[in-house]
């Protein structure tokens, strides 16, 4: 009988011992090369083989030919990580995606966006294998599935990796390496909360006003003084053990996380909805009903907005509704996780392995009350019992006094657009639930002394459930506003009288806000009316991913005295499926508060692939220490009819053992996902601006004529109070894979003999995407139409009849999916770490910085005056989106005493960014003069104290020590929630956390 012994290689202690924020190159620890050894009692010699992220070839060292940044388990603990996205989004290489601070438009997931190229261009792996899409409406990996306490390290590879891992690795790869070799029992618990001292003084407009001034001007009373809240609780149990005399091993985990809500109303700087370009704005759907459009815009040149507040006429001053205070700043969340990682040696030639991960996550996104939202023109008689006598006389008098009223007014019926917030019924809240399962099963083992195999099948699914509560029904409002008086003198719905809707209750918004005690709809809004017009909206969906993968790897011949040539040869089958099912309310956009109809989607595709890799050591320990090449190729055949070729060539040169140059070229691809292909066409919202809106438009009269504004209406087009406009979006079944060329060149220094414990890497990257799966962009279309008058743009701008607005029913910009243009980005990453015993303890220092040289978006459309390209480096806003500072970094300095006490401080820096619409580039901005849209450099400092009291390890930390407020900007300038970019900056102040780990 022979005994097969397996070894897992450990990286060089000088490198693994760093366990800091950013190591220049770190390997993924994988199974050693496996070979049969002697009889029982003999020992095996480990080969030290390591699988490096970015390649499937095992190699004898820990250095990567591709630039890889690593977050160690120590950094995970030092940041008090409860949400994995908070950890990853702090990296300078990452631009924030979906996170816990997004409410309006939240998917309920957490995503990662490398280089700002989009979550769909970032491939997320767990132990080198794909993590399935986390939401049917946003098919990117959901980081909520990952248990923070089990993370051994996070490896971020920059540049294309499609030849190794397949499509989507355009910006790079984020690989979460889990501690699958854990032995023992460990209980990790973290409690944290946010604290902020309200007292804002930031200047927020060109008049020099602070947000406090603007709150005062509106008569608002924001919070003041100390506020504590938004607690997070996280508990995770990990169990690990070998069994059957070491032939098998299993690591299992279970976790629970609870996050409490924070409201925008809990912070003074987010209490007021900064809209427009001057002050506290809000929504034109006011507490008291506003009436506008059809008849009045026909009658009067400027089209007045009339306010119904229950007074004798409609002349009360209009005040926009401040929707911010009731919105979530931090969404409440409850998450359960469980799973295991295991392997078992069946025979010397066969080891079975398996992974299972489960997550159930439920989050609620609360936003302001629903309302009528000017959803459609309601034909209401000026003699309606909804109006008091004075109001009726006022409206009927307008009709009688208009000589041309016969064109729009029939039988004293007025087509009215109504704006009224449902302050009587309470906020909307979107209940989002994701239940995910991920299963991997496979076999691996040696074929010969130098060749091994690995075959696996993987299944991942995410089940989605959504209940959108407390919206207004447009169809029920239509009935509820048609009131009449029955034979008994009661005010009832016309649909009750004619029997078309016997359940109808009259909704009367014209007599002021609040539920009327009398229950009589003549007096105003009744509880029965609220119950009738308020509806829930329901949606379910599912994502599925199936992957079958098999490859052989090992060593071939040696070139001279160098190590053998390593190779991989394999095949893969992958199938993706998305399905969603929406109720009638979602599909017909019966919910007045919905930005677009939610239509059913069903789509699938599969791809068959073959791939291969070579690592060719040309010289080792010769006149240079190392000269080697890595080559890879993958052919992919998609069921959609597309096929792609991806490949890479990377070289390494180490003149001496402590200096290494690396660089290479990757061809990467992103295939269109199911939504790119099959999403139904529909109207949806985008955040932007109409340069022809308002009393003093940004564009000239001639430019606005290009955009469909008649001369007589110049200066009277309504501004969207919320900075949101309509676009017509949808998928394209003819979309093709996009291609990317990525180049990297770098230098790695590990002068252990000169400066023990020091490692540094400098890497240049250049990523160029062509034939991008994208859109022209709604804001680009608007800007280019105004400037050029080109029909290519102007034919896609459709102004609403009557109002000419791009934000009310009938106004929109065409912006459907197509292959057009691309993105080019380049820059330099600098990472360094130093770890050394000094005095009575150990000093550690890490640095991770990223300089953005270029981020150029190519719209794919050149005109006589423009080239269709613009550079977003150092900008943010309507076209460029999330801030893209030229320089970002974070650094940590720490010292741990030998007796177990440690302290470290982290510095996070975000460079300044300007508002993109101030740009004079005709492809990008409007040349607007609004310096308050610019954001200055932001710095945050974090402190962590730790004490190792074996078997208990304690940590106390404060992130954002100085309680620095986020930069505040109005919605017209950009931002995602609470007058700021919550995915980029610390949005809610100081975070204090305490964590404990008990291990035995």
Q: Does the structure show a pLDDT above 60 at 995?
A: yes
Q: Is the pTM of this model over 0.95?
A: no
Give yes or no: residues 416 and 507 share one domain.
yes
pLDDT of 802 above 90: no
Measured in residues, the chain has a length of: 1000
Q: Supply the DSSP string of 210-270, one letter for each residue.
A: BHHHHHHHHT-----EEEEEEEEEEEEEEEEEEETTTTEEEEEEEEEEEE--EEGGGSHHH
pLDDT at 930: 73
pLDDT at residue 220, rounded to an integer:
92
What's the confidence (pLDDT) of residue 13? 30
> What is the mean pLDDT of the segment spanning 652-674?
94
Residues 6 or more apart from 629 whose CB is under 8 A from it? 614, 615, 616, 618, 649, 650, 651, 652
CA 911 to chain centre: 21
Number of folded domains that form the chain: 2
Q: In this structure, are 591 and 701 located in the same domain?
A: yes
Is residue 61 one of the residues assigned to a domain?
no
- 693 and 755 together in one domain: yes
Please report which confidence band the pLDDT of residue 20 belongs to, taking 50, 70 and 90 as the band edges. Answer: very low
> Average pLDDT for residues 317-324, to the nearest whole number?
85
Residue 135 pLDDT level (bands cut at 50, 70, 90): very high
Q: Point out the least confidently predicted range of 168-172, 411-415, 750-754, 795-799.
A: 411-415
Mean pLDDT of 750-758: 91
So what's the pLDDT on residue 403?
45
Residues 249 and 305 in one domain: no
Give the Cα separation of 711 and 482 in Å (integer).
37
The domain of 513 spans 301-327+376-420+471-538
pLDDT (mean) for 538-551? 97
What was the pLDDT predicted at 899? Answer: 95
**Enclosing H/E stretch for 14:** helix 13-16
- Extract the tokens encoding 369: 């009350």
Instruction: Check if the beta carbon of residue 977 is closer than 8 Å to that of residue 327.
Output: yes
Region 625-640 average pLDDT: 95
User: What is the share, in percent, of the chain residues with pLDDT greater than 70?
Assistant: 90
Question: Residue 974's pLDDT is what?
Answer: 85
> What's the confidence (pLDDT) of residue 53?
81
Q: How far is CA 273 from CA 215, 317, 502, 726, in A?
A: 10, 19, 40, 20
Residue carrying the six token digits 């690989």: 175
pLDDT at residue 229 is higher than 60: yes
295 within some domain: no
**pLDDT band (50, 70, 90) for residue 878:** confident
727, β-bridge pairs: 684, 813
Give residue 984's pLDDT.
95
Its sign, for the CA torsion 402, 404, 410, 411, is positive
Residue 804 maps to a domain: yes
365 neighbors 328 (Cβ within 8 angstroms)? yes
How many whole angstroms separate alpha carbon 792 and alpha carbon 492?
A: 51
The CA-atom distances, in angstroms, between 700 and each of 405, 710, 865, 916, 926 are: 32, 12, 17, 19, 11
Look up residue 277 and give its two tokens.
Answer: 């370009």
Alpha helices in 402-541 (DSSP H): 474-480, 494-497, 527-533
Model confidence at 3: pLDDT above 50: no
pLDDT at 317: 67
Query: Which range, of 8-17, 253-262, 380-389, averages the lowest pLDDT?
Result: 8-17
Query: Once rounded to an integer, what is the mean pLDDT over residues 270-282?
Result: 82
Q: Does a cis peptide bond (omega within 30 degrees of 0) precede residue 761? A: no
Q: Would you say residue 34 has pLDDT above 80?
A: no
Give the phi and the psi of residue 429 in degrees, each rounded to 5.
Answer: -145, 130
Domain end: 523, 538, 553, which one? 538
> CA-CA-CA-CA torsion for 474, 475, 478, 483, nearest 10 degrees?
-130
Same domain, 438 and 483: no
> What pLDDT score does 718 carry?
85
732 and 870 inside one domain? yes
* Nearest by Cα to 533 from 448, 475, 494, 485: 475
Q: Dump pLDDT digits (tens) for 862-873.
A: 877 778 899 999
Among 522, 538, 554, residue at a domain's last position: 538
Question: Residue 624 pLDDT more than 70?
Answer: yes
166 pLDDT above the threshold of 50: yes
Residue 949 pLDDT exceeds 50: yes
- Pick from 829, 915, 822, 818: which is nearest to 277 by CA? 915
CA distances from 824 to 693, 816, 827, 863, 901 (A): 33, 22, 11, 20, 47
Closest CA to 748 of 40, 69, 2: 69
Cα 381–Cα 386–Cα 390 angle in degrees, nearest 5 = 85
Q: Are both 386 and 260 inside the same structural domain?
A: no
Exposure on the CB side of residue 324, measured as CA atoms within 13 A: 30
Q: List residues bridging with 228 in a β-sheet.
A: 195
Q: Are 652 and 65 in contact (CB under 8 A)?
A: yes
Cβ–Cβ under 8 Å, residues 664 and 648? yes
User: For all residues of the chain together, what is the average pLDDT?
Assistant: 88
Q: Which of 513, 538, 563 is the C-terminal boundary of a domain?
A: 538
What gap in Å lies between CA 851 and CA 766, rounded to an integer? 12
* Weakest-pLDDT range from 157-166, 208-217, 567-576, 714-723: 714-723
Give residue 51's pLDDT: 78
Per-residue pLDDT at 1 exceeds 50: no
Distance between CA 189 and CA 805 in Å, rounded?
52
CB 601 within 8 A of CB 580: yes
Sign of the Cα pseudo-torsion (88, 90, 91, 94, in order): positive
What's the mean pLDDT in 629-639? 96
pLDDT (average), residues 227-247 = 96
In this structure, the answer to whether residues 967 and 914 fall within a common structural domain is yes
**Is 308 domain-assigned?**
yes
286 belongs to a structural domain: no
Average pLDDT estimate for 329-358: 97
> Is 99 inside any structural domain?
yes
Residue 688 pLDDT class (50, 70, 90 cuts): confident
- DSSP secondary structure, 755-809, as one string: STTEEEEEEEEEEEEES-EE---HHHHHHHHHHH--HHHHTTEEPPTTT--SSST
Claim to verify: residue 261 and residue 125 sit in the same structural domain: yes
Residues 323 and 347 occupy one common structural domain: no
- Average pLDDT score over residue span 628-648: 95
901 and 956 assigned to the same domain: yes
Domain of residue 211, CATH code: 2.40.170.20
One domain, residues 445 and 389 = no
Contacts of 295 (CB under 8 A, 6+ apart): 398, 399, 405, 408, 409, 414, 415, 416
pLDDT for 769-795, tens place per residue? 999 998 888 988 998 899 889 888 999
**Overall average pLDDT of the 265-275 stretch:** 93
CA distance 177 to 684: 38
pLDDT of residue 315: 64
Q: Which two tokens stand for residue 50?
A: 């390591």
**Selected residue with higher pLDDT from 416 and 248:** 248
pLDDT score recorded for residue 999:
93
How many CB atoms sit inside 10 A of residue 530's CB?
18
Tell me, yes or no, whether 8 lies in a domain: no
Minimum mean pLDDT among 21-35, 139-153, 683-697, 825-839: which range? Answer: 21-35
pLDDT band of residue 298 (cuts 50, 70, 90) is: very low
Determine, yes or no, domain membership for 54: no
Tens digit of pLDDT for each residue in 359-369? 999 999 999 99
Residues forming a β-bridge with 749: 659, 760
Residue 375 is classified by DSSP as -
Confidence tier at 47 by pLDDT (50, 70, 90): very low
Percent of the chain with pLDDT over 90: 68
Residue 135 CA: distances (Å) to CA of 31, 109, 140, 147, 573: 33, 7, 7, 18, 22
């Amino acid at each position: 009988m022979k005994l097969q012994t397996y070894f897992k290689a450990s990286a060089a202690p000088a490198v693994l011992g760093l366990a800091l924020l950013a190591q220049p190159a770190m390997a993924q620890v994988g199974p050693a090369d496996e070979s049969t050894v002697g009889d029982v009692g003999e020992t095996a010699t480990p080969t030290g083989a390591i699988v490096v992220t970015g390649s499937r070839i095992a190699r004898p060292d820990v250095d990567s030919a591709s630039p890889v940044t690593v977050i160690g388990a120590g950094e995970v603990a030092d940041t008090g990580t409860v949400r994995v996205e908070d950890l990853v989004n702090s990296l300078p290489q990452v631009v924030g995606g979906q996170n816990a601070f997004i409410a309006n438009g939240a998917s309920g997931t957490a995503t990662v966006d490398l280089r700002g190229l989009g979550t769909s261009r970032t491939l997320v792996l767990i132990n080198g294998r794909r993590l399935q899409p986390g939401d049917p409406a946003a098919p990117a990996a959901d980081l909520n599935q990952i248990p923070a306490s089990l993370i051994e390290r996070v490896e971020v590879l920059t540049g294309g990796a499609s030849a190794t891992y397949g499509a989507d690795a355009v910006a790079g790869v984020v690989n979460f390496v889990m501690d699958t070799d854990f032995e023992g029992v460990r209980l990790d618990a973290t409690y944290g909360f946010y604290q902020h001292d309200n007292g804002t003084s930031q200047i927020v407009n060109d008049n020099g006003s602070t947000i406090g001034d603007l709150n005062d001007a509106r008569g608002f009373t924001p919070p003041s003084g100390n506020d504590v809240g938004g607690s997070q609780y996280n508990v995770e149990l990990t169990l690990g053990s070998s069994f059957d005399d070491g032939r098998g091993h299993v690591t299992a985990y279970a976790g629970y996380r609870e996050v409490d809500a924070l409201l925008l109303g809990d912070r003074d700087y987010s209490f007021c909805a900064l809209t427009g370009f001057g002050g506290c704005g809000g929504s034109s759907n006011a507490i008291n009903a506003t009436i506008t459009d059809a008849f009045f815009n026909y009658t009067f040149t400027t089209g007045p907005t009339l306010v119904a507040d229950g007074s004798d006429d409609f002349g009360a001053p209009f005040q926009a509704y401040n929707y911010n205070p009731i919105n979530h700043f931090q969404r409440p969340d409850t998450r359960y996780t469980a799973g295991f990682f295991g392997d078992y040696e069946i025979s010397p030639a066969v080891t079975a392995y398996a992974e299972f991960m489960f997550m159930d996550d439920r989050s609620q996104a609360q936003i302001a009350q629903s309302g009528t939202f000017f959803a459609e023109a309601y034909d209401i008689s000026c003699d309606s019992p909804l109006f008091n006598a004075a109001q009726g006389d006022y409206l009927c008098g307008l009709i009688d006094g208009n000589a041309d009223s016969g064109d729009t007014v029939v039988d004293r019926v007025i087509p009215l657009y109504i704006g009224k917030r449902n302050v009587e019924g309470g906020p909307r809240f979107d209940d989002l639930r994701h239940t995910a399962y991920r299963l991997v099963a496979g076999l691996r083992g040696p074929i010969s002394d130098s060749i091994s195999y690995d075959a696996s099948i993987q299944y991942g699914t995410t089940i989605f459930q959504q209940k959108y509560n407390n919206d207004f029904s447009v169809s029920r409002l239509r009935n509820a506003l048609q009131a009449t008086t029955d034979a008994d003198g009661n005010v009832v719905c016309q649909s009750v009288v004619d029997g078309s809707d016997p359940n109808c209750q009259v909704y009367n918004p014209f007599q002021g806000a609040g539920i009327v005690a009398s229950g009589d709809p003549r007096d105003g809004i009744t509880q029965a009316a609220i119950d009738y017009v308020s509806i829930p909206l329901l949606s379910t969906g599912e994502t599925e991913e199936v992957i079958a993968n098999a490859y052989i790897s090992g060593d071939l011949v040696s070139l001279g005295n160098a190590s053998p040539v390593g190779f991989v040869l394999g095949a893969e089958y992958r199938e993706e499926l998305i399905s969603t099912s929406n109720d009638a309310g979602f599909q017909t956009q019966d919910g007045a508060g919905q930005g677009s109809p939610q239509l059913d989607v069903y789509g699938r595709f599969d791809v068959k692939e073959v791939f291969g890799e070579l690592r060719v050591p040309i010289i080792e320990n010769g006149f240079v220490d190392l000269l080697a090449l890595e080559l890879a190729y993958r052919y992919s055949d998609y069921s959609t009819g597309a096929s792609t070729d991806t490949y890479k060539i990377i070289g390494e040169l180490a003149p001496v053992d402590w200096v290494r140059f690396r660089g290479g070229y990757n061809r990467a691809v992103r295939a269109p996902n199911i939504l790119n292909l099959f999403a139904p066409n529909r109207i949806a919202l985008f955040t932007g601006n109409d340069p022809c809106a308002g009393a003093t438009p940004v564009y000239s009269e001639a430019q606005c004529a290009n955009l469909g504004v008649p001369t007589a209406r110049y200066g009277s087009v309504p501004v969207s109070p919320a900075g949101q406009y309509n676009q017509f979006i949808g998928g394209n079944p003819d979309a093709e894979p996009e291609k990317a060329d990525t180049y990297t060149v770098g230098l790695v220094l590990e002068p252990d003999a000169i400066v023990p414990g020091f490692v540094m890497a400098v890497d240049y990257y250049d990523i160029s995407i062509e034939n991008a799966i994208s859109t022209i962009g709604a804001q680009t279309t608007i800007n280019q139409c105004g400037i050029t008058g080109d029909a290519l743009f102007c034919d896609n701008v459709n102004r609403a009849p009557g109002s000419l607005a791009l934000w009310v029913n009938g106004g929109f910009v065409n912006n459907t999916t197509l292959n057009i243009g691309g993105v080019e980005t380049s820059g330099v990453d600098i990472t360094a770490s130093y770890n050394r015993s000094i005095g009575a303890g150990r000093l550690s220092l890490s640095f991770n910085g990223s300089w953005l040289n270029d981020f150029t978006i190519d719209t794919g459309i050149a005109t006589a005056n423009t080239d269709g390209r613009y550079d977003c480096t150092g900008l943010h806003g309507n076209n460029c989106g999330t801030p893209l500072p030229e320089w970002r970094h974070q650094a940590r300095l720490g010292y741990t005493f030998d007796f177990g006490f440690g302290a470290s401080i982290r510095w996070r820096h975000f460079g300044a960014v300007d508002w993109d619409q101030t740009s004079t580039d005709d492809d990008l901005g409007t040349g607007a003069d609004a310096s308050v849209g610019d954001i200055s450099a932001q710095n945050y400092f974090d402190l962590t104290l730790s004490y190792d009291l074996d078997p208990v390890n304690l940590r106390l930390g404060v992130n954002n020590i100085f309680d620095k407020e986020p930069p505040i900007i109005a919605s017209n300038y950009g931002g995602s929630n609470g007058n700021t970019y919550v995915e980029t900056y610390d949005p809610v102040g100081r975070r204090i956390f305490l964590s404990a780990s008990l291990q035995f």
